[in-house]
Chain A
């Protein structure tokens, strides 16, 4: 039932992993494998919003495509549709009503994909690859935010070819996250800017990076009242910083923790430090998941400041992850992220997306 043009080695069943006879470490966690995964590295994953019934997963890849699967309650994944860009897709997001998917690509454009009609039209244009795309739903406006390597952050009404607003950034956008009314963008050269989105987007504060290495991923978290209150920032140096925007006691409340490193206690061999490729917060528990170049994912409780779980090591880096709208499914993608350079790139190596039941493992630890 594969709708995608390329053949998938694992057939069309949802639980393809059980059909595998090899004992290689591509899926040591024995999680559900998504059928018809993309043919090149997966750059982003996103689940449909709560406004839509069911769970639909979209994944963008370096094969210039963005694919959509339906994830059924029994774990079966059904490929539904795909769209193409003329360059690798770097990011994708859903509109708040779940009817549109927005995709951003190295071809310097962003597209709006109407799932009902399966049409995609270009809605944004930059001078460089667009690295981050997010949908903003404000009481008085709605728009798309695109962050690009051309050092600009642009906001688009999807009906107009010109941006509603264009903000200059100090450096190339490396990652961003939006939880209304807050947006955070992390740029090259460890730049970190927070924007406030009320009335219209404007720069709120430039923050001195809590991390000492290149920024790689960022995710906003909310407080008990469901308001965005801070963000988690990951770098290439196996470290995540938890940073609150207006904490009562910054020195105490903000902290960093190390993750995605090898040789925890073994001091005889040098420790390998891997990049944190993505961070996602559980929509219900507020706990977070990080995935890294080491091919592992970890779950953390930032309030108790403890680690909840670390997975076994996959044979490839994990490049993207996301939770579904109710937090029951954790999706993560296994593909090469270039962390070891060109030499380790094997175009023949299969890329995977796995789904894991996240209801139990991400429950917060009880504070002592």
Chain B
């Protein structure tokens, strides 16, 4: 949870419409209630899995998912946790949620103190700021999910909401004027909330300066538009901590993932994308098995391969990945070993045309310790392979036809000094 792109709502069970705090709990619920075999009580992972189990083990067919509400009993739909839920039902759910929260928002605002009501009048100048704040708060809304229902009370929100801010607040000079275009939908929706602002945002005036991070805005815009109805109550409370602390904002992804510290001192300017996938945080090692892989599959930010590789999620209570922690391939790890880096003759093994040819490609530096001529000369003499390699054909600019075809086609290749050395060397070696 806390990943905006994933579902933007709490995990819920498609089969019975119940809400859960965590996807893990949701899955446990599904396994126990919907994917449990009524004959042997074995818990399967999916509907089809249950069907197959009953068929294969008990020779019995089932045609509907146990304990499911009517209309949601399809045994063939492969749903696991939140995955596999048909889009249609997702939209429906989202809409229902929005409606619900809007209703409760209205009720809430109706029940608010009189002071709030009267503050509506002051909404003028702060409206824009409100909009901004709301936008960001809205963005923070989904981010604040861990343990915080969309329509949660104020006190809970601030720290969580704060986490959503960082991408927005690099502490850049004010560009408030830039906001409205990004938040077309905000002002109207925000009006009711506008009343909240003043009490919440004593620090607003100094804050707007921090809004500007334009790159962050686009990310915010869709978020608030979608979650606004869902988290209107959250916003007013959220805004307060967001702005004043914006100066020190820049909490990195780990913060998003649920840290409760409201004031981060890590002033790194993460690109907005950094908040989504965990791969961009080379120094962050996710601790849960699902957080890393569950990040977006398509929009992967350029991985920091050249620097320290991202770490893998390796351990959970029930399983352990037998793989070194770094997220590079096993071959890459092994290749880093000095003994494989030498590109030099292995002890006791002769070469075949390798060094000079390799050098052509520009691997000269590692070749320094290995005079190209030597192996070339030694080689044919050994004749270990039953047929002495003749003439080390290859991309020899010196005129040796590659692959026995006519003219050397090496002009595009380097014609530098190394090449010049070759012909004199190769000829004696190659010709018997």
B335 to chain A, nearest CB (A): 5
**C-alpha spacing A272/B323, complex, angstroms:** 10
Instruction: Say whether B298 faces chain A, with CB atoms less than 8 Å apart.
Output: yes
Q: Which of B331, B351, B361, B363 contacts A43 (CB 8 A)?
A: B331
A329 to chain B, nearest CB (A): 25
Q: Which of A81, A107, A270 contacts B318 (CB 8 A)?
A: A270
| With contact pairs A119-B389, A188-B305, A214-B312 given, residues A339 and B323 touching in the complex (Cβ less than 8 Å) | yes
Instruction: Say whether B40 faces chain A, with CB atoms less than 8 Å apart.
Output: no
A251 to chain B, nearest CB (A): 5
Q: Which of A5, A62, A251 contacts B77 (CB 8 A)?
A: A251
Q: Which of A26-34, A83-91, A137-145 contacts B (4 or more CB under 8 A)?
A: A83-91
Tell me the residues in window 283-318 of chain A with beta carbons closer than 8 Å to chain B beta carbons: 293-294, 305
Instruction: Say whether B432 faces chain A, with CB atoms less than 8 Å apart.
Output: no
Instruction: Say whether B322 faces chain A, with CB atoms less than 8 Å apart.
Output: yes
Q: Which of B5-13, B100-108, B137-145, B404-412 contacts A (4 or more CB under 8 A)?
A: B404-412
Chain A residues, CB < 8 A from B350: 5, 84
Chain B residues, CB < 8 A from A131: 331
* A189 lies within 8 A of B303 (CB): yes
Q: Which of A51-59, A120-128, A354-362 contacts B (4 or more CB under 8 A)?
A: A120-128
- Nearest-neighbor residue (CB-CB) of B84 within chain A: A251
* A212 lies within 8 A of B294 (CB): yes
Q: Which of A63, A209, A271, A338 contacts B330 (CB 8 A)?
A: A338
Q: Which of B78, B331, B349, B412 contacts A251 (CB 8 A)?
A: B78
Query: Looking at chain A's contact residues, is the secondary structure mostly helix, strand, loop, or mixed?
Result: loop
- Nearest-neighbor residue (CB-CB) of B339 within chain A: A347
Q: Which of B319, B337, B353 contacts A120 (CB 8 A)?
A: B353
B299 to chain A, nearest CB (A): 10
Instruction: Say whether B20 faces chain A, with CB atoms less than 8 Å apart.
Output: no
* A159 lies within 8 A of B405 (CB): yes
Q: Which of A109, A252, A337 contacts B358 (CB 8 A)?
A: A109
| Cross-chain pair count, CB within 8 angstroms | 196
Instruction: Say whether B218 faces chain A, with CB atoms less than 8 Å apart.
Output: no
* A106 lies within 8 A of B303 (CB): no
Tell me the residues in window 232-246 of chain A with beta carbons closer than 8 Å to chain B beta carbons: 236-237
Chain B residues, CB < 8 A from A328: none
Instruction: Say whether A17 faces chain B, with CB atoms less than 8 Å apart.
Output: no
| With contact pairs A189-B303, A338-B334 given, residues A294 and B322 touching in the complex (Cβ less than 8 Å) | yes
Chain A residues, CB < 8 A from B346: 63-64
Chain B residues, CB < 8 A from A275: 322-323, 330
**C-alpha spacing A237/B402, complex, angstroms:** 44
* A273 lies within 8 A of B322 (CB): yes
Contact with A along B299-339 (1 / 0, CB 8 A): 01001010000001001111111111001111111110100
**C-alpha spacing A121/B358, complex, angstroms:** 10
Instruction: Say whether A96 faces chain B, with CB atoms less than 8 Å apart.
Output: no
A306 to chain B, nearest CB (A): 9
Tell me the residues in window 98-136 of chain B with beta carbons closer than 8 Å to chain A beta carbons: none
Contact with B along A183-199 (1 / 0, CB 8 A): 00000111100000000
Instruction: Say whether B352 faces chain A, with CB atoms less than 8 Å apart.
Output: yes
Contact with B along A18-59 (1 / 0, CB 8 A): 000000000000000000000001010000000000000000
- Nearest-neighbor residue (CB-CB) of B290 within chain A: A212
**C-alpha spacing A260/B390, complex, angstroms:** 47
* A189 lies within 8 A of B300 (CB): yes
Contact with A along B355-397 (1 / 0, CB 8 A): 1011011110000000000000000000011110110011100
Instruction: Say whether A134 faces chain B, with CB atoms less than 8 Å apart.
Output: no
| With contact pairs A161-B412, A208-B297, A339-B330 given, residues A87 and B343 touching in the complex (Cβ less than 8 Å) | yes
Chain B residues, CB < 8 A from A340: 322, 324
* B358 lies within 8 A of A108 (CB): yes
Chain B residues, CB < 8 A from A208: 297-298
* B321 lies within 8 A of A122 (CB): no
* B413 lies within 8 A of A161 (CB): yes
* A84 lies within 8 A of B351 (CB): yes
Chain A residues, CB < 8 A from B71: none
The 9 closest A-B pairs by CB, nearest first: A212-B293, A125-B361, A122-B357, A338-B330, A271-B319, A208-B297, A86-B354, A118-B387, A341-B324
Q: List 21 A-B contacts (CB under 8 A).
A: A5-B349, A86-B351, A86-B355, A86-B358, A109-B361, A111-B357, A118-B389, A120-B352, A120-B353, A129-B335, A161-B395, A161-B413, A172-B332, A188-B328, A208-B298, A212-B293, A213-B293, A261-B319, A271-B318, A305-B52, A337-B330
Chain B residues at the A interface, C-beta cutoff of 8 Å: 48, 52, 55-56, 76-78, 84, 279, 290, 293-294, 297-298, 300, 303, 305, 312, 315-324, 327-335, 337, 340, 343-346, 348-355, 357-358, 360-363, 384-387, 389-390, 393-395, 402-403, 405, 409-410, 412-413
Chain A residues at the B interface, C-beta cutoff of 8 Å: 3, 5-6, 41, 43, 62-65, 81-88, 90, 106-109, 111-112, 117-123, 125, 129, 131, 149, 158-162, 170-172, 174, 188-191, 206, 208-209, 212-214, 216, 236-237, 251-252, 261, 267, 270-275, 293-294, 305, 337-342, 368
